[in-house]
Amino acid sequence: MKRRDVLTAAGALALTGCASKVSECQSSEAGEQFNWKMVTSWPPNLPGLGTGATKLAEHIEAASGGRIRIKVFAAGELVPAFEVFGTVSEGTAEIGHSAAYYWRGKTEAAQFFTAIPFGMNVMEMNAWLYYGGGLELYRELYEPFNLIPFPAGNTGIQMGGWFNREINTLADLKGLKMRIPGLGGEVLRRAGGTPVALAGSEIFTALQTGSIDAAEWNGPYNDLTFGLHKAARYYYYPGWHEPGPVLECIINRDAWAKLPADLQTIVEIACGALNDKMTAEYAARNAQNLQVIKQDGKVAIRKFPDEVLSELRRITVEVYDELAAEDQKVAKILESFSTFKKTIGEWTEISQQAYLNTRNL
């Protein structure tokens, strides 16, 4: 019986990365319990994003045997949606779940770690972050803010948005008030539109009342949750502005340093698991909800005209170049991003893209 107990304990320790330092981990198991607050940018129980943050907290608690307990606060419950970064940076909350492009006011370079117009898709982004030096640059950028970021979810390529008027030429974007964050918003501005910053919970009312003319949020999965199909008639694709948007888990550096090594490993693994599983969830649920939209018959699903996409792409390059000239951090990250995008793009072209073109013959 004693031998079996020893083997069982060793197996459990191996799962938490402690097999090589049993005494240290056994000591930490009997040690301090950590009670954290998680703030998020998502409405309560929002499928995918909100529920993903909750699952992250639950998985960390379960895998740690309750040594880390995390109370999750949706947007507005403790702090507003766009104050997650500062709240975790200051240590008022130990952990947050959000998207890096919301923090362009803190540092322009943050946007590259969610999504940038005409950037990389979800598989390419993960490759860059994990194996192309992106994660190192991400953490270097956040270090002055006392934060450690982890990729923790991805919605996959998004839709181009909901519009209350047709987009046939670039002229149709002029004067358009649209909820759109990040560099996509800056590109829209230069194309003659007006980007508007709104939390997810505010989009439906703004679109329905005419405060804005258009809005992008995600894809069919979350867009139907918000009822956006009832507020606008035209649903455009592709999501040129967000081809592979990464969600982030940010942790206060001081709180992180207090965790023993095995608990740090658990948190890191939990973030990686959510990063994978959320991508699958959005692929499945977007597909299912697209059928709902089609069957409804009241929404016109349209592709952006090629000439509009071409001009938006030209403006995007212009924005990149200007930001890089003004900000050394942007220049450093853009160089890494662009180099990796070119390299992996050659593989994507003869693998995924070539196969999809063949499948659709």
CATH of residue 68's domain is: 3.40.190.170
**Is the same domain home to 151 and 274?**
yes
| 34-93 pLDDT, tens digit each | 999 999 999 999 999 999 999 999 999 999 999 999 999 999 999 999 999 999 999 999
Provide the whole-model pTM. Answer: 0.89
Q: How many helices (H) and strands (E) does the chain have?
A: 14, 11
Quick check: is 275 in a domain? yes
Q: Is the domain of 200 the same as that of 251?
A: no
Q: Tell me if 188 is assigned to some domain.
A: yes
Residue 279 lies in a domain: yes
Residue 160 has pLDDT above 70, yes or no: yes
Percent of the chain with pLDDT over 70: 91
Please determine, for residue 25, whether its predicted confidence score (pLDDT) is greater than 50: no
Is 208 part of a structural domain of the chain? yes
Q: 279 near 145, Cβ under 8 Å?
A: no
Can you tell me which residue has the tokens 């994507």?
348
Q: What is the pLDDT of residue 30?
A: 53
Task: Provide mean pLDDT across the span 158-178.
Answer: 97
Residues 130 and 151 occupy one common structural domain: yes
Per-residue pLDDT at 21:
43
3-state secondary structure of 47: coil
Cα-Cα-Cα-Cα torsion 144, 184, 203, 169, nearest 10 degrees, comes to 170
Looking at residues 179-187, what average pLDDT do you find?
A: 95
Residue 342 and residue 216 in one domain: yes
Residues 130 and 258 in one domain: yes
> How far, in Å, CA of 289 to CA of 292, rounded?
5
Residue 130 lies in a domain: yes
Q: What pLDDT was estimated at residue 61?
A: 98
CB 180 within 8 A of CB 161: yes
Q: Is residue 290 part of a domain?
A: no
Spatial CA neighbour of 329 closest among 186, 145, 153, 156? 145
Task: Based on the fold, state whether residues 325 and 185 are members of the same structural domain.
Answer: yes
How many other β-carbons are positioned within 10 Å of the β-carbon of residue 157?
A: 20
Q: What is the mean pLDDT of the chain?
A: 92
Q: Are residues 217 and 206 in the same domain?
A: yes
pLDDT at 6 over 50: no
User: Where a domain ends, among 255, 283, 311?
Assistant: 283
- For 131, list phi and psi in degrees, rounded to 5: -130, 5
Q: Which residues contact 260 (CB under 8 A, 6 or more apart)?
A: 24, 25, 28, 31
What residue numbers bound the domain in which 234 lies? 161-241+301-359
Residue 121 is assigned to a structural domain of this protein: yes
Q: Provide, for the chain, the percentages of residues in helix, strand and coil under a 3-state DSSP scheme, each rounded to the nearest 5.
A: 55, 15, 30
Clarify whether residues 115 and 213 are in a common domain. Answer: no
What digits encode the pLDDT tens for the residues 230-288?
A: 999 999 999 999 999 999 999 999 999 999 999 999 999 999 999 999 999 999 999 99
Question: In b/e form, how buried is each residue of 237-258, taking b as 16+ CB within 10 angstroms?
Answer: eebbbbbbbbbbbbbbbebbee
d(CA 228, CA 218): 11
Task: Kindly report the backbone phi and psi dihedral angles of residue 253, in degrees, each rounded to the nearest multiple of 5, phi listed first.
Answer: -60, -40
Q: In this predicted structure, what is the pLDDT of residue 361?
A: 82
Q: Tell whether 53 and 118 lie within a shared domain.
A: yes
Mean pLDDT of 295-323: 96
pLDDT, tens digit, for every residue of 172-182?
A: 999 999 999 99
Are 103 and 219 found together in one domain? no
Residue 70 and residue 127 in one domain: yes
Q: Is residue 292 part of a domain?
A: no
The total domain count for the chain is 2
112 and 67 part of one domain: yes
CATH number of the CATH domain containing 224: 3.40.190.10
Which strands, in side-by-side order, build the sheet including 68-73? 68-73, 34-40, 95-98, 246-252, 147-154
